[in-house]
C-alpha cells in the first residue's frame, strides 16, 4: 500500500481503530437505529443479549435496515422483508417461503463493539490498537460530568491537533483561561506508549484561573500555575489531567471523537472533577468548557481544508513536538 499523504475523516485506516458511536442510553431496546461513522451508515440494535451493529445496508438491494422493525428478534428489512438475526444471519426471505435455502451472500457481517468509558465503541475492521487505560475513571472522589455531544464542522484529526496543542492558549483562549504570560513554550518530552499507539506529555504552565472564586476576592492571584498531563490514544481519544496546586482542583477531561463524514465530527467530553459537589457547580463547569471549545471552533472550523497533511504544507517547530508525534502515529495507523 502506498503511504497516505493526509488524514481525513474517511481515511480507510481509521476502520482499524475503536471509534465512539454514541452513549449507551441512545440505543433503546429492540429498536434499530442509524449512526454515522467514517462517512458510512451503521445500524445498531440493542437486544437483551447486548448490542449488535452492521452496515446499514441490506444484503439484498441495499435498503436501510435502520428503517426496518424488529420481528422475532430479527431486524426486518423495510423493502422485501428479509430478516436478520443477532449474528447477521439471514433467517427468513419471505419471497422464498419458510423452508427455502438462503444464499450465502444473504448474510451480514457484524462489526466489533464494546461499551467502555460511558460510550459505545465500534471497530469496522480488525482493530490494531486498544483504548487507553484511564486511571481516574472509577475514582469515586471525582464527579463524572458529561458535556452534551457537540457536532463540529472540522475533521477529528483537526480537533485532536488543536486539543494537544498548547501554543494557542494565550491567543485563542484570551477570553477564558489563556494567559499572555504563557506565550513561550518550554522544553517537554513526549513519552510513547509501549505499544506505540499513543503517548503521554506532561507540561506545567500558567493560566488565568477565572474558575477560582477566590480570585475575585483577591485571596488568590489570577495568574496560577497548572500542571497538564495529556494522554493520547489512536485514533481519537485524549485524556487531559489538569492539576491546580493553588486551589487543589483536579479536572480530568476525557474526549473521544466520532468522525461522521468528510466534514463533520461529533465530540464527546466527560469531566472528572473533585470540585463539583453540586449540580450548579457541575453546570458552571460544563458552560465554561463549552465556552473554551467555542473559542477553539472559531479557528478550527475555518482552517484551510478538512485534512491533516503528513508531508509538505505545514511548518513544524520544537514547540509542536506532540502534534508531530500525533501525525506520526496516525500515519502509521493509516499505513498498517
Residue 296 interacting partner from ligand FES, Fe ion, none (CB closer than 5 to 8 Å by kind): Fe ion
Among 182, 211, 296, 320, binds Fe ion (CB under 5 A): 296
Rule CB under 6 A: is residue 34 a binding residue for ligand FES?
no
> Which CB, 60 or 328, lies closer to ligand FES?
60
Rule CB under 6 A: is residue 238 a binding residue for ligand FES?
no
User: Closest separation between CB of residue 43 and ligand FES, Å?
Assistant: 12
Report how far residue 44's alpha carbon sits from residue 19's, in angstroms, rounded to the nearest whole number.
14
Report how far residue 19's alpha carbon sits from residue 259's, in angstroms, rounded to the nearest whole number.
8
> Which CB, 1 or 95, lies closer to ligand FES?
95
How many angstroms separate the first and last alpha carbons of the chain? 9
Q: How many CB atoms lie within 10 A of CB 284?
A: 13
User: Closest separation between CB of residue 75 and ligand FES, Å?
Assistant: 10
Rule CB under 6 A: is residue 58 a binding residue for ligand FES?
yes
- 134: helix, coil or strand? coil
C-alpha cell at 88: 447477521
> Which CB, 21 or 77, lies closer to ligand FES?
77
Rule CB under 6 A: is residue 272 a binding residue for ligand FES?
no
> Which CB, 161 or 296, lies closer to Fe ion?
296
84, 58, 62: which is closest to 73 by C-alpha?
84
C-alpha cell at 223: 495568574
> Which CB, 79 or 188, lies closer to Fe ion?
188
Rule CB under 6 A: is residue 303 a binding residue for ligand FES?
no
Question: Per-residue DSSP letters for 21-56?
Answer: EE-GGGS-BT--EEEEETTEEEEEEEETTEEEEEES
What single DSSP character describes residue 129? S
> Which CB, 212 or 296, lies closer to Fe ion?
296
Rule CB under 6 A: is residue 77 a binding residue for ligand FES?
yes
Q: How far is CA 259 from the centre of its chain?
A: 8
Could you tell me which stretch among 44-52, 74-82, 273-281, 328-336 binds ligand FES (CB under 6 A)?
74-82
> Which CB, 98 or 184, lies closer to ligand FES?
98
Rule CB under 6 A: is residue 316 a binding residue for ligand FES?
no
Rule CB under 6 A: is residue 75 a binding residue for ligand FES?
no
C-alpha cell at 186: 518550554
Among 18, 27, 54, 82, binds ligand FES (CB under 6 A): 82
Counting residues that bind ligand FES (by CB under 6 A) gives 8
Q: Compute φ and ψ for 200, nearest 5 degrees.
A: -125, 135
CB 43 within 8 A of CB 53: yes
Could you tell me which stretch among 28-36, 54-62, 88-96, 296-304 binds Fe ion (CB under 5 A)?
296-304
Cα angle, residue 308 at apex, residues 322 and 324 outer, rounded to 5°: 20
Among 4, 10, 39, 63, binds ligand FES (CB under 6 A): 63
C-alpha cell at 208: 488565568
Report how far residue 167's alpha carbon sits from residue 126's, in angstroms, rounded to the nearest whole number.
36
Binding site for ligand FES (CB under 6 A): 58, 60-61, 63, 77, 79-80, 82
Binding site for Fe ion (CB under 5 A): 296
Amino acid at each position: 500500500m502506498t503511504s497516505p499523504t493526509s488524514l481525513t475523516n474517511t481515511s480507510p485506516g481509521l476502520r482499524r481503530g475503536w471509534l465512539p458511536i454514541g452513549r449507551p442510553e441512545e440505543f433503546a431496546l429492540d429498536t434499530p437505529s442509524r449512526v454515522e461513522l467514517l462517512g458510512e451508515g451503521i445500524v445498531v440494535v440493542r437486544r437483551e443479549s447486548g448490542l449488535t451493529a452492521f452496515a446499514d445496508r441490506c444484503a439484498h438491494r441495499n435498503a436501510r435496515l435502520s428503517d426496518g422493525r424488529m420481528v422475532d428478534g430479527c431486524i426486518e428489512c423495510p423493502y422485501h422483508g428479509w430478516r436478520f438475526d443477532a449474528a447477521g444471519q439471514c433467517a427468513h426471505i419471505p419471497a422464498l417461503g419458510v423452508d427455502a435455502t438462503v444464499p450465502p451472500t444473504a448474510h451480514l457481517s457484524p462489526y466489533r463493539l464494546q461499551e467502555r468509558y460511558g460510550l459505545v465503541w465500534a471497530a469496522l475492521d480488525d482493530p490494531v490498537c486498544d483504548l487507553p487505560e484511564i486511571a481516574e475513571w472509577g475514582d469515586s472522589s471525582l464527579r463524572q460530568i458529561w458535556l452534551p455531544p457537540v457536532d463540529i464542522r472540522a475533521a477529528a484529526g483537526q480537533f485532536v491537533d488543536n486539543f494537544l496543542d498548547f501554543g494557542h492558549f494565550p491567543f485563542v483562549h484570551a477570553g477564558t483561561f489563556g494567559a499572555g504570560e504563557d506565550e513561550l513554550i518550554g522544553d517537554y518530552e513526549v513519552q510513547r506508549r509501549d505499544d506505540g499507539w499513543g503517548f503521554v506529555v506532561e507540561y506545567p504552565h500558567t493560566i488565568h484561573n477565572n474558575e477560582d472564586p477566590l480570585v475575585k476576592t483577591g485571596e488568590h492571584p489570577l495568574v496560577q500555575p497548572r500542571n497538564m498531563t495529556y494522554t493520547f490514544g489512536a485514533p481519537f481519544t485524549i485524556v487531559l489531567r489538569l492539576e491546580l496546586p493553588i486551589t487543589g482542583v483536579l479536572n480530568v477531561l476525557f474526549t473521544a471523537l466520532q468522525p461522521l463524514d468528510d466534514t463533520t465530527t461529533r465530540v464527546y467530553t466527560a469531566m472528572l472533577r473533585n470540585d463539583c459537589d453540586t449540580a450548579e457547580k457541575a453546570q458552571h463547569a460544563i458552560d465554561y468548557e463549552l465556552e473554551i471549545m467555542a473559542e477553539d471552533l472559531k479557528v478550527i472550523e475555518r482552517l484551510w481544508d478538512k485534512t491533516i497533511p503528513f508531508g509538505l504544507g505545514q511548518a513544524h517547530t520544537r514547540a509542536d513536538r506532540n502534534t508531530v508525534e500525533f501525525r506520526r502515529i496516525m500515519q502509521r495507523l493509516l499505513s498498517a
